[in-house]
Amino acid sequence: MRKAGHAFAAAIVDAHGGGEPAYPGHAQPILQIGRDSPERKVILDAVRASVERRLGIKVVFVVDRITVFGDWAFASVHPRNEAGNRIDYRRTRIAKDFDPEQDSDLAGALLRRKDAAWSVVEEAFLPTDVYWEEWETKYKLPRALFFSE
């Protein structure tokens, strides 16, 4: 699996071009993970396990953003049922806590890689506010990992 990670890094070009750091003060670039990247499946599978455990159903994702910064990854996704349709959260494990007037249709996850495995460190499920700003500060990560201006 380690070799796939190296192939992935060599195959992806950072979004800002060139070899300069994508974030001042940080030596590593922030990589946008494309649809054809092997790293994408590994990251999404880690997020999927958490979301499926929470909801009690199988899900697929509509991906907004997957980025990697060294051994950190951020994923912003919209969970969908196995048919690819919006989930009726009132028919899941979170039904009693779901408020369709308040809750979003988004899941965000901060992951960390150890060896070749990604694991979810923080998650925000159906957030109603900017959830990643706390993660940016807590883990001293560049804002560009979470948000493109």
pLDDT tens string 83-139: 999 999 989 998 888 887 777 889 999 999 999 899 999 999 998 889 999 999 999
Percentage of residues in the chain with pLDDT exceeding 90? Answer: 66
Residue 27: the pLDDT is 64
What pTM, to 2 d.p., does this model score? 0.79
For helices 38-55 and 2-11, angle between their N-to-C axes, nearest 10 degrees? 110
How far CA 24 is from CA of 27, 32, 40, 139, 149, in Å, comes to 8, 17, 26, 16, 15
What count of other Cβ atoms lies within 10 Å of the Cβ of residue 146? 21
| Start-to-end C-alpha separation, the chain | 33
Segment 72-88 shows an average pLDDT of 96
